[in-house]
Amino acid sequence: MSKIKVLMVASEVGPFAKTGGLADVTAVLPGVLNQHQCEVRVIMPLYRRIKQRYEDQLKFIRWTMVKMGWRSMYSGLFSFRTGGVTYYFIDNEYYFGHDKIYLEYSFDIERFCFFQRAVLDALGEPMDFEPDIIHCHDWQTGLIPCLLEAHYFPYGYHRHVKTVYTIHNLKYQGIHGVERIADLCDMPARFLTEYGILKDGVPNLMKAGIVYSQAVTTVSPSYAEEILTPYYGEGLDGVLRSFSYKLTGIMNGIDRDLYNPQTDRNIPLNYDLTNWAKGKAAAKKALLKRVNLPSDGKLPLIGMVSRLVDQKGLDLLLRIIDELLAYGCQMVILGTGDEFYANQLQMVAQRHPELLAPCIYFDSQLANKIYAAADLFLMPSLFEPCGLSQMIAMRYGTLPIVRETGGLRDSVTPYNKYDGSGNGFSFANINAHELLYTTKAAIDLWKERSTNPAWNTLIENAMTADFGWDNAAEEYLKVYKKVLGTQKEIPVD
């Protein structure tokens, strides 16, 4: 059977550019799908850091001018093959010659409008690859299905190409004024309606992806259900409900090579199921020393590796953190984000210098040390499309405490004290005291660990849970096959 040719398009792809989980997913999924009847190639912007880092390895393919309203913008196309995957990069100094991936809101809209048009311009002959499917991720690529219908299909180009759109986080939608989008994208009027890309009178790139793609996926089955409700729908639940026939929730996996306590060089002693107690004890001692917290072995250590934004439930934590620390535990929190949360955590640390270490920066090596060293891992998210940290923590034998939402609900089975089953702890409502009581119960179980085998069993269950990518790959393959079987009416201009 011939392979399904897929072009993945994203604003972040690990290891080239990363701010969050999107990059983790786009880093691994192409390679995995390539082992499942697909030939996947990837295209992304050539941000300054990628240019600097991979300068000698990037292969220049061609340059052209991309039309955007009254402007014509230079667009370079480069490629680079690594790990069995071909990557393409769109070059434009004005848009992508910056250290950061995301800049100012309105400029980002323009940057990613350019990117999407440049991607479609490079399709086929220039990149020597005509995909069967374009797989788009998040709002930065949401217009691609619509742009195909606007500028290519009516003129006989790429008419067989189908599109799949994956929502990693519905909250960020890419919303901007009608005139601007019409101008930047030369968008014909027939798309600028509430049936098309407009939501409440303004273009919404996330909505465009949902409306014009042939299949929509999101990153866990529970989130796929939640976003059909007003509470989680971010204003798009109505749109999603009317297109729910093409929505599937596919749980992400984690990179089991990158996150492997048996081989991880960031921890003092590698471990597996047979010697985790020793390995984790060594990791804990080393981490506490590194973050300047005293270690006497009497307190459990709670870890958190998170963007510091409200989605992650930091308000719940701040409400009860003094009481929690006073109950008897230490905490290490690593992440960057809102200044407000960073300041609040620093203030808590001033009150409890021996108990809390806030590390307000990003350091992936320190992250791995925390995954290994902690006894418990906190993720009280208000919503969580999938969440990767809870799965990584479990692989390192660190028990997650999560709110039952989205992918957290789908990956963590709460401890059942009657039959001892489970691989973590969870609570149902957005309620600080539910978080507090659940965490206290987890601490109590930790304290009993020399007499009650439940704790060790939970750790072993967590470490052996299957969070690989094979299942997801099979599911994506099903979506691809379904989409390739669909017929589409192509409007003629």
- The footprint of ligand GLC (CB under 6 A) covers 20-22, 25, 168-169, 219, 252, 384-388, 407
Residue that is written with structure tokens 């219908």 in the block? 149
Q: Which is nearer to ligand GLC, 166 or 330 (CB)?
A: 166
Neighbours of 153 (CB within 10 A): 18
DSSP secondary structure letter of residue 159: T
Judge whether 218 and 188 are in contact, CB under 8 Å: no
Beta strands in 344-448 (DSSP E): 356-359, 376-379, 399-403, 425-427
Shortest CB 25 distance to ligand GLC, Å: 5
Contacts (Cβ under 8 Å, ≥6 apart) of 340: none
Q: Which residues pair with 5 in a beta bridge?
A: 39
Neighbours of 323 (CB within 10 A): 13
| Residue 218 backbone dihedrals phi, psi, to 5 degrees | -135, 175
Q: Which residues pair with 476 in a beta bridge?
A: none
Q: Which is nearer to ligand GLC, 75 or 252 (CB)?
A: 252
CA–CA separation, 145 vs 196, rounded Å? 11
Q: Which is nearer to ligand GLC, 303 or 387 (CB)?
A: 387
Shortest CB 408 distance to ligand GLC, Å: 9
Residue number, nearest CB to ligand GLC:
21
Q: Which is nearer to ligand GLC, 174 or 385 (CB)?
A: 385
Shortest CB 268 distance to ligand GLC, Å: 29
Shortest CB 305 distance to ligand GLC, Å: 13
Contacts (Cβ under 8 Å, ≥6 apart) of 477: 4, 33, 36, 37, 38
CA–CA separation, 220 vs 407, rounded Å? 5
Shortest CB 318 distance to ligand GLC, Å: 20
Shortest CB 358 distance to ligand GLC, Å: 21
Judge whether 91 and 121 are in contact, CB under 8 Å: no
Q: Which is nearer to ligand GLC, 21 or 249 (CB)?
A: 21
Shortest CB 47 distance to ligand GLC, Å: 18
Q: Which is nearer to ligand GLC, 329 or 473 (CB)?
A: 473
Of 151, 137, 134, 141, give the one whose Cα is nearest residue 205.
Answer: 141
3-state SS, residue 342: helix
Q: Which is nearer to ligand GLC, 161 or 479 (CB)?
A: 479
DSSP secondary structure letter of residue 311: G
CA–CA separation, 397 vs 446, rounded Å? 13
Shortest CB 167 distance to ligand GLC, Å: 9
Q: Which is nearer to ligand GLC, 44 or 147 (CB)?
A: 44
Q: Which is nearer to ligand GLC, 42 or 388 (CB)?
A: 388
Residue 86 parent element (H or E): strand 85-91
3-state SS, residue 459: helix
Judge whether 456 and 445 are in contact, CB under 8 Å: no
Judge whether 168 and 22 are in contact, CB under 8 Å: yes
Shortest CB 23 distance to ligand GLC, Å: 8
Shortest CB 187 distance to ligand GLC, Å: 28
Q: Which is nearer to ligand GLC, 124 or 233 (CB)?
A: 233
3-state SS, residue 217: strand
Q: Which residues pair with 137 in a beta bridge?
A: 166
Q: Which is nearer to ligand GLC, 168 or 207 (CB)?
A: 168
